[in-house]
Amino acid sequence: MAIRIALAGNPNCGKTTMFNALTGARQYVGNWPGVTVEKKEGVYRADKEVTITDLPGVYSLSPFSPEEIVTRDYLLDGRPDAVISLVDATNLERNLYLTSQVLDLGLPVVVAVNMMDLVAKNGDKIDLDKLAKKLGCPVVPVSALKGHGLDDLMKRVTEVAARKQAAAPAVRFTNDTEQAIRKVQDVLGARVSAETARWYAIKLLEGEERTVELLGLPAADAQVVDGVRAAYENVIGDDAESAITTERYDMVGDVVSDCYKRSLKGMSTSEKADRIITSRILGLPIFVAVMYLVYYIAIGTVGTNATDWVNDNLFDSGWLITGTERFDEDAAAHKEAAGKIEAYLAAAEETGIDTEGVADAIAAEEPTAEDEASVERFIGDAREAKLMADYEATDEETNETTVTPVGAADFERALEVDEPNPADYGLFMPSVPQVVEGWLDAIGAADWVKGLVLDGVVSGVGAVLGFLPQMAVLFLELAILEGCGYMARIAFLMDRIFRRFGLSGKSFIPILVASGCGVPAVMATKTIEDERDRRMTIMTSTMIPCSAKTPIIALIFGSIASGDIKTAQWVTPLFYFLGVVAIIVAAMMLRKTKWFAGEATPFVMELPAYHVPSVRNVLMSVWDRCKAFVIKAGTVIFLSAIVVWFLLGFGVVDGSFGLIDTEMEGYIDHSLMAMLGNAVGWVFIPLGFGGWEATVTSITGLVAKENVVSTVGIITALGADAGEGNPGLWSAFAALFNGSVPAMVAFCAFNLLCAPCFAAIGAIRNQMASAKWFWLAIGFMTAYAWVVGFILYQVMMAVQGEPNVIGLPLALVALGLMLFQMLRPMPAYDAAKNLAEKK
């Protein structure tokens, strides 16, 4: 017989660890309908007929958060066959508050007391038999981390489920409260089942709006309930909801005092550690050190190295397994030869020797007779002029620079050095594009098919998997910190700072992670329980400059400063500072809207005891997050890469539409992307860059922000390989803006603050789990970036002495409206009603 088991408990009580131990790999992760709250279901590893649902971690069943609504509705309406109420033995009083509410639902319940080993370690004792009598249900000691007691737990759960044995708690409220509850039950009559009558009666007595609307009592009955409530409040001298809450805590406190015997050892190890780790003086420095280490490992070393390997080998040039030493020597010789050729051609151009066509002739894969003749003419001219050049090489290990003279004979010898083919040196594994290209060549695929598959499909998949190693390392570190209990401390430390700006303390981790990559930053918002705070964090965290945006900053810096160090000292930090300020301003503005109105969610959390995290739990957490990224975000990247390929690869040439020859000079001018740039370029005229070229770079930057630099290289005919440190690219980029510094600053501000890359956009779509909120988020970020860029451009132009008589007043009005939105009074907000409407 199929049995449905619900697993309920407070956050950080070990619920996820227990769920993973009970189900292993036989679990499914998704979202509850209508909300972004994660839904986990799994099959019990010892009995495939038993399905376990891991409910969100909550402190109560009051409908004030999406998690509480989901948990409450599933238990009340879904009516599982049994409930495992998992409680943390080290925080028994706090955890039993939720259990006491679950017992009122009239369901078969088994209380699992977790972390009993820590209780024993502290010298404390819990009388489980007495606890079971008071709660009216079986109580089983377990250790979810070590797997102790789980088989006995499931045996007791299946027994009570088979007997449909509802819990019968022996503890009750005071006589006044119990009498009022019975009177409301009499009014309800047969409108609800006997099992849920007590639950509904308590909620009606409290005057809970959600229950009142759900039951829709006739006016006469509603007046009777109101009368009972008024009489009860008159007797106790307090409102009904507060009184019942207080009595519930008192009731739970009495149970704990009877069953829990504490030792006189003093503070536990965790409490002693928290005096240092969460202190006002040392807490933040320790946190900075921990997160710097996390960032350094994931973004600076292991994660980046793994990502670079995937990008450079798996999706680029392949990798050589054997014979690497000889290949490295020949590759170094070819690099030196290429450097000498480049230095010699540069020296020839400076002295007036004709170099037209020589570089292309040398680079030709199959040189023609004309190419060979061109090279011979150049060598003859160079010999006659006795041309000499200096080749500078820097040793990567010692950082020492050596200068080698290069003459015509050295130039000729350098031409004879061929680029080594790694496949000729040993066991070589070709990259995915190489394998696919070979397969397409073998079947004689058309050029447009090759372009679609290689530049669209394979490129899109590579964009997904290229992020994955870095994300996996970061997710692993965060899972370890979460598992050991430190993540809860981080949120506690940052809450008092972030609440001043309308953000939750838990928003800090996604914002910090976003400085490395926006994708894991958006994924990290899963740790924020409140839906409003999670959505606000998603809409603001990617405004911080990530590693992919640094090439844009470097390009702007080079174009503005032209290598001037003094200018660099303010240009580069300016954009990082801009990101931080933009997040604060956006958060303060959003908090004053009806969707986000109200204070940040009160930070209520029992700090769990420090412990070694479960390896299974950590690995499954990393697996779930990585799988979600590949499936959800990967779909968006995949489709978007194909669209961008089509826009760049197709266009109108000589009056006919078709695939454009990318070898043709200025081919991008004829592409659909150029047409699109011309069509929407007018939007950016108020920001100082209305030309299609700058517009196109912003569009391709949506695929990956690094594309901004490569697109500039393509547009300026310097090539996609021209890096952000290329002085020629600096000049060409500045020319697109007619040398206007305000326009370049506005361009950079827009690209840093607007909708992030497709990978992050895919993650946003996944986390929002709502098309409406997804488009609102993208629209807000883009509009916000436009307004910031507009204000910067118009104000900087005025400072330069070139104010726009229309643009400047409008920019000042926009700035005034932003300040008004930040500082205006908070709109009225009904938390319970708003969340009920969202549900």
Residue finishing a domain among 114, 129, 163 = 163
Residue finishing a domain among 266, 287, 307 = 266
Residue 15 and residue 119 in one domain:
yes
Q: Please tell me the distance from the alpha carbon of residue 628 to that of residue 766, in angstroms, as a whole number.
A: 8
Beta strands in 79-120 (DSSP E): 82-88, 109-114
Lookup result for tokens 């769920």: 19
Q: How confident is the model at residue 571 (pLDDT cuts 50, 70, 90)?
A: low
Residue 170 placed within a domain: no
Q: Please tell me the distance from the alpha carbon of residue 131 to that of residue 768, in angstroms, as a whole number.
A: 42
Residue 823 placed within a domain: no
Number of domains in the chain: 3
Q: How confident is the model at residue 602 (pLDDT cuts 50, 70, 90)?
A: low
Q: What is the pLDDT of residues 388-433, one digit of tens each?
A: 999 988 877 777 888 999 999 999 999 999 889 898 999 999 988 8
Residue 180 and residue 136 in one domain:
no
- At 470 the pLDDT is 75
- At 110 the pLDDT is 96
Which element (helix H / strand E) includes 38?
strand 38-43
Q: What is the pLDDT of residues 458-485, one digit of tens each?
A: 776 776 677 678 778 877 887 888 778 7
Lowest-confidence segment of 202-216, 230-244, 290-304, 359-373 by average pLDDT:
290-304
Q: How confident is the model at residue 836 (pLDDT cuts 50, 70, 90)?
A: very low
722, 729 contact by CB (below 8 A): yes
- At 832 the pLDDT is 45
Lowest-confidence segment of 491-495, 707-711, 767-771 by average pLDDT:
707-711
Helix/strand/coil (H/E/C) assignment for every residue in 762-822 = HHHHHHHCCHHHHHHHHHHHHHHHHHHHHHHHHHHHHHCCCCCCCHHHHHHHHHHHHHHHH
Residue 135 and residue 96 in one domain:
yes
Q: Please tell me the distance from the alpha carbon of residue 204 to that of residue 837, in angstroms, as a whole number.
A: 20
Q: Please tell me the distance from the alpha carbon of residue 101 to that of residue 99, in angstroms, as a whole number.
A: 5
**Distance between the two ends of the chain, CA-based, in angstroms?**
33
Kindly tell me if the per-residue pLDDT of 35 is higher than 70. no
Q: What is the pLDDT of residues 775-825, one digit of tens each?
A: 999 999 999 999 999 999 899 889 888 888 888 999 999 999 999 988 888
Kindly tell me if the per-residue pLDDT of 830 is higher than 50. yes
Residue 36 and residue 125 in one domain:
yes
Residue 32 and residue 154 in one domain:
yes
In terms of residue numbers, what domain contains 354?
Answer: 323-417
The CATH number of the domain holding residue 64 is 3.40.50.300
Residue 515 placed within a domain: no
Residue 111 placed within a domain: yes
- At 29 the pLDDT is 67
Task: Output the CA torsion 564→565→571→572 (10° steps).
Answer: 130
- For the residues of 110-159, what is the DSSP string, one character each? EEEEE-HHHHHHTT-EE-HHHHHHHHTS-EEE-BTTTTBTHHHHHHHHHH
- At 463 the pLDDT is 61
- At 263 the pLDDT is 72
Q: Please tell me the distance from the alpha carbon of residue 733 to that of residue 713, in angstroms, as a whole number.
A: 9
Q: What is the pLDDT of residues 435-459, one digit of tens each?
A: 998 999 999 888 878 878 887 777 7
Q: How confident is the model at residue 657 (pLDDT cuts 50, 70, 90)?
A: confident
Q: How confident is the model at residue 742 (pLDDT cuts 50, 70, 90)?
A: confident
25, 99 contact by CB (below 8 A): no
Lookup result for tokens 């030792």: 263
Residue 201 and residue 259 in one domain:
yes
- Mean pLDDT of the region 207-229: 89
- Global pTM reads 0.60
Q: Please tell me the distance from the alpha carbon of residue 85 to that of residue 90, in angstroms, as a whole number.
A: 15
- At 232 the pLDDT is 92
- At 267 the pLDDT is 65
- At 803 the pLDDT is 85
Residue 400 placed within a domain: yes
Residue 140 and residue 191 in one domain:
no
Q: Please tell me the distance from the alpha carbon of residue 637 to that of residue 640, in angstroms, as a whole number.
A: 5
Q: Please tell me the distance from the alpha carbon of residue 253 to that of residue 251, in angstroms, as a whole number.
A: 5
111, 139 contact by CB (below 8 A): yes
Residue 820 placed within a domain: no
Residue 150 and residue 211 in one domain:
no
Residue 605 placed within a domain: no
Q: Please tell me the distance from the alpha carbon of residue 758 to that of residue 762, in angstroms, as a whole number.
A: 6
**Percentage above 70 pLDDT, the chain:** 85
- At 835 the pLDDT is 44
Per the prediction, the chain carries an average pLDDT of: 82
Q: Please tell me the distance from the alpha carbon of residue 13 to that of residue 650, in angstroms, as a whole number.
A: 57
Q: Which of 651-660, 713-722, 785-794 has the highest mean pLDDT?
A: 785-794
Q: How far is CA 123 from the centre of its chain?
A: 42
The CATH number of the domain holding residue 260 is 1.10.287.1770
Higher-scoring residue by pLDDT: 151, 364: 151
Lookup result for tokens 């972390």: 115
**Both tokens of residue 62?**
């009051």
701, 711 contact by CB (below 8 A): yes
Length of the chain: 839
Q: For the chain, how are helix, strand and coil distributed in percent, rounded to 5?
A: 65, 10, 30
Residue 114 and residue 183 in one domain:
no
Q: How confident is the model at residue 178 (pLDDT cuts 50, 70, 90)?
A: very high
Residue finishing a domain among 113, 135, 163 = 163
Q: How confident is the model at residue 6 (pLDDT cuts 50, 70, 90)?
A: very high
Q: What is the pLDDT of residues 110-143, one digit of tens each?
A: 999 998 877 887 778 899 999 999 999 999 999 8
Residue 8 and residue 152 in one domain:
yes
Q: How confident is the model at residue 833 (pLDDT cuts 50, 70, 90)?
A: very low
Lowest-confidence segment of 86-95, 295-304, 424-433 by average pLDDT:
295-304
Residue 597 is which amino acid?
Answer: A
| DSSP state letter for 652 | E
Residue 60 and residue 22 in one domain:
yes
Residue 313 placed within a domain: no
Kindly tell me if the per-residue pLDDT of 175 is higher than 70. yes
Residue 181 and residue 142 in one domain:
no
Q: What is the pLDDT of residues 333-355, one digit of tens each?
A: 999 999 999 899 989 988 888 88
- At 839 the pLDDT is 39
Higher-scoring residue by pLDDT: 740, 169: 169
